[in-house]
Amino acid sequence: MDKLFSKLRIGEKIGLGFALVGLLFVGVVWHDRQTLQGVLGDYQQLQGFGLRKSLALEIEIELAAVRDAEKGFLLDRREAFAEEASRRLQNLRDKVAALAAVDQDSRQTADSLLALVTTYQKSFDTVAEAWRVMGLDENTGLQGAFRKNVHRLQELSAGYNVDRLYTLLLQIRRSEKDIALRQDPAYRERVRKLLAELQQAVETSELQTPVRQQLLSELAAYASTFEPYAESALKAGNINGGKGPFRDAAHRIEALLKAYHVANLEASVLQLRRREKDFLLRGDDSYPPMVVEIATTIRAQIAASALSNADKALLTGLLQDYQRDFLALVAQSASISVLTREMNEAAERIAPLVKQNVDQANQMMAARLAEIEVSSAASVRGSLIVMACAIALAIIFALAITTRIVRPVRQMAGLLDDLAYGRPTSHVPTVSDGRDEINAMGESLNALVDHRMTFLRWWKESMDEVSARRELLQAGSDEEKDEAMKDLRAATIAKLQQLNAIRGRLLQHGERVREVSQRIQAAPGSVSAADATALEHAALAMATLFEVLAREDAPAAEDMPAAASTPTSSA
C-alpha cells in the first residue's frame, strides 16, 4: 500500500480522495435513483391496477346500457333501441380492447369478455332479426301479413251478416199474414214501419253494392204491391190466398238474403281475433289450438252456407292464409323465446366475469399496496444504511489518505528536530522510485542525515587518529607506545570500516545510475523528471562521498587542523 501511494503525487492523492468520495456519493445518488425508479414502477403498477378497475367499471356501465337498450327493444320493438344496443356493444368492445392493453392478466380477462360479448351480440342480432321477421309492429312481418288477411276476412264477414235483415223480413211476413187473418189496420202500419227499418238496415249494411241495390229495388217493389193487397184485404176481405206480386218480391228478397248469409260468421271471426290477441298478449301456448279450432269451425260454416263457390273460395283462401301466417308467427315466437333465453344466458355470463375482474383488480391493488408499504419501509432503511456506509467509507478514505500524507510529514518534522537539537539515528521510511513529493522530501532528508552522520563519524575517527598519533609521538615508555599504537590501530580500523560503508553507498548510487541508464536506453529520447532527479541526487551524493575520500589523501599534519575545522563547520 505504501509503495502504491508513493507512486502518487500529493495533488493526485488529494484528487483520488475527492474522486473516491465523489464515487461514493455517486453510488448513493445511483441507489436513490434506483429506489425512485422502483417507486415509479410501483406507482405505474398501481396506476395500471386503477386503470384496470376503471375500465372494468366502465365495461359494467356499458353492459348495463346494452341490457337497457335490449329490454327497450324487446318491450317496444323499435329500431332505435336496436341501433342503441349496437352502438353500446361497439363501445363495450372498445373498453374491452383497452382493458387488454393494461397487463397480461387483463388481456386474458379481456379475451374471455370479448368472446362472451361476441356471443351475446350474435344472439341479440339473431333475436332482433327474428322480431323483424315476426313484425316489429302490427303492420310488418308475419304479424302484418296475417292481420291484413284477417281484416279482409272480417270485412267480408260483416258483408255476410244478414241475420238482422232476415229477422226483419220474417217479421214483415208475419205482420203481412196477420192482416189477412185479423183484418186489423195496425198490422198494416206495422208492416210499413218494419219495411222502413229494413230499408234503412239495408242502406247501412256492409253488403256488396249490387246486392244492396237489388235488395232496395225488391223492397220498393214489395212496398208498392203490398199497399193494394192491404187495402183490399181490410175493406173487402179479398186476400186471394195471400198471394200476389208482393209475395213474389218477398220470396226474391229472402232468396237474396239466404244467398249471402253465413250463420255466425262475423261472431266467429271476432272470436278468432280474440284468441289471436290473447296469444300476442300472453304468449300462452294454449291459444294457438283455439285459433285453429275456430278457423275449422268457420270453414265448416262457410261450406254449409248458400254462398257461391267463388265467395266460398275467397273466404276459405283468406282464412287459410291467415291460419298459415298465424302459425308461422307462433313458431317464430317460440324461436324468439329460445333465442332470447340464449341471449340472456350469454349476458348473464358476462356480468359475473366483469364483477370478477373488478374484485380481482381491488384485491391485487390492496395486496400491491401492502407490498409497496413493506418495500418502501425497506427502501428507507436501505437508503439510510447506504448513506451511513457512504459517509463511513468517505471518512475512512479521507483518514487513510490524510494519514498517508500527514504521517511522513510528522516523521520528517521529528527528524528535523533531531537534526537541529540532537543526533538523529533514525530515517524517514521511503519507497524507491516513488513520485510522491513527501517521499522525495524524505529521501532528501534521509540523504542529509546520512551525510551529516558520515561527516561526523569521519571527523570523530580523524580526531581519534590524530589523538593516537599525538600520544604515540609523546609516549616515553614502551607501554605508552603500545597503548598509543592500539588506539591508532582502532582508529585506523574504524576509518577503514567507514570507508567500506562509503564504498557500499557509492555502489548503491552506481547501481541506481545503471538502472536509470537502462531505462533511458530502453526508451531513447525520453527522460522523465523522476529519472533526471534520481540521476542528480546520485551524482551529488557521489560527489559528496568523493569529497570525503579526497580529504583522506591529505597529509596527516594537515589533517589535524582540517579535521578540527571541517566537522565543526559541517555541524
- Could you read off the pLDDT of 87-136 as tens digits, one per residue? 988 998 898 888 888 777 778 888 888 888 888 888 889 988 888 888 87
pLDDT tens by residue, 312-327: 888 888 888 888 888 8
| Residue 521 pLDDT exceeds 70 | no
pLDDT of res. 565? 36
Long-range contacts for 4-8 (Cβ within 8 Å, ≥24 apart)? 5/404, 5/436, 6/430, 6/431, 6/433, 6/434, 6/435, 6/436, 6/439, 7/433, 7/434, 7/435, 7/436, 8/435, 8/436
With a cut of 70, say whether residue 2 has pLDDT above it.
no
For cell 500527514, the residue is 406
State the pLDDT at residue 513. 74
pLDDT at 570: 32
The predicted structure's pLDDT at residue 530:
64
SS3 content of the chain, % helix, strand, coil (to 5): 90, 0, 10
567 confidence band (pLDDT: 50, 70, 90): very low
For position 106, what pLDDT does the model report? 78
**360 has a pLDDT exceeding 60:** yes
With beta carbons less than 8 A apart as the criterion, state whether 109 and 99 touch: yes
pLDDT at position 247 is: 77
- How far is residue 147's CA from residue 322's CA, in Å, rounded to a whole number? 7
At 275, the pLDDT band (50, 70, 90 cuts) reads confident
What confidence category does residue 562 fall into, taking pLDDT thresholds of 50, 70 and 90?
very low
Q: Could you tell me the pLDDT band of residue 28, with boundaries at 50, 70 and 90?
A: confident
Question: How does 366-379 read in b/e, with b if 16+ C-beta sit within 10 Å?
Answer: eebeeebeebeeeb
- DSSP, collapsed to helix, strand or coil, labels residue 225 as helix
Quote the Cα angle for 342-343-347, to 5°.
Answer: 115
pLDDT of residue 348: 83
Cα–chain-centroid distance for residue 24? 39
For position 300, what pLDDT does the model report? 86
| Lowest mean pLDDT across 6-20, 82-96, 245-259, 332-346 | 6-20
Could you give the percent of the chain with pLDDT greater than 70?
A: 82
State the DSSP string of 317-338: HHHHHHHHHHHHHHHHHHHHHH
Which residues, 6+ apart, have CB-to-CB distance to 541 below 8 Å? 447, 451, 505, 509
Query: Which has more confidence, 66 or 509?
Result: 66
pLDDT at res. 559: 43
pTM score: 0.51
Can you give the pLDDT at residue 48? 66
Does pLDDT of 540 surpass 80?
no
Nearest to 20 by CA among 365, 339, 319, 404: 404
Higher pLDDT, 140 or 527: 140
DSSP type of residue 243: -
Lowest mean pLDDT among 142-156, 234-248, 253-267, 412-426: 234-248
What is the mean predicted confidence (pLDDT) over 469-485? 77
Average pLDDT over residues 452-460: 73
pLDDT for residue 566: 35
Residues 141-171 pLDDT 10s: 877 777 787 777 767 766 666 777 778 888 8
Residues 15-21 have a mean pLDDT of: 76
Q: Are 446 and 432 in contact (CB under 8 A)?
A: no
Q: How far apart are CA 206 and CA 258, in angstroms?
A: 15
Angle between helices 529-552 and 556-570 (to 10 degrees): 140
pLDDT, averaged across the chain: 77
**Res. 534: pLDDT tops 70:** no
Q: How confident is the model at residue 241 (pLDDT cuts 50, 70, 90)?
A: low
CA atoms within 13 A on the CB side of 436: 26
Segment 329-347, tens digit of pLDDT: 888 888 888 888 888 888 8
What pLDDT, on the 0 to 100 scale, is given for residue 1? 60
Mean pLDDT of 65-91: 88
Mean pLDDT of 244-273: 77
What confidence score (pLDDT) does residue 233 get? 75
What's the confidence (pLDDT) of residue 18?
77
pLDDT at 506: 73
pLDDT per residue as tens digits for the range 168-213: 888 888 888 887 777 788 888 888 898 898 888 888 877 778 888 8
Q: Are residues 368 and 45 in contact, defined by beta-carbon separation less than 8 angstroms?
A: yes
Nearest to 393 by CA among 17, 32, 1: 17
Banded pLDDT at 524 (limits 50, 70, 90): low
pLDDT band at 555 (very low <50, low <70, confident <90, very high): very low
Cell numbers placing 169: 223480413
- Does pLDDT of 551 surpass 60? no
pLDDT of residue 4: 63
Burial of 471: CB neighbours in 10 Å, binned 0-12, 13-18, 19+: middle
- Positions of E strands within 202-347: none
Question: What was the pLDDT predicted at 159?
Answer: 65
Predicted pLDDT at 557: 38
| Encoded amino acid at 519, one letter | R
Question: Do 459 and 551 contact (CB within 8 A), yes or no?
Answer: no
Burial label for 286, CB within 10 Å (0-12, 13-18, 19+), is exposed
- Residue with the bigger pLDDT between 305 and 220: it is 220
- Which pLDDT value is given to residue 548? 60
